[in-house]
Amino acid sequence: MPTLVIHGADDPLVKLAGGQDIAAQIPKAWLLTVHGMGHDLPDELADIFTNAIAANARRAMAD
């Protein structure tokens, strides 16, 4: 199943390497690294998140 991992490049709780490792362990995973984002999902980035989720859903439908 195509999987989307969203990770903030500036996450103070979970280093970026953690998100990279998760994505590497899941077949077909896609890592979206958001520069300037920490350990949160700011409303200002909602368009980025929804576009990435929609793209991932399209990948799932194509499989």
| pLDDT score for 60 | 85
Global pTM exceeds 0.85? yes
Quote the Cα angle for 12-25-32, to 5°: 50
Query: How many Cα atoms sit within 13 Å of 53 on the Cβ side?
Result: 6
Contacts with 6 (C-beta within 8 Å, 6 or more apart), sequence order: 19, 32, 34, 41, 49, 52
Residues 9, 16: Cα–Cα separation, whole Å: 6
3-60 per-position pLDDT tens digit: 999 999 999 999 999 999 999 999 989 999 999 999 999 999 999 999 999 999 999 8
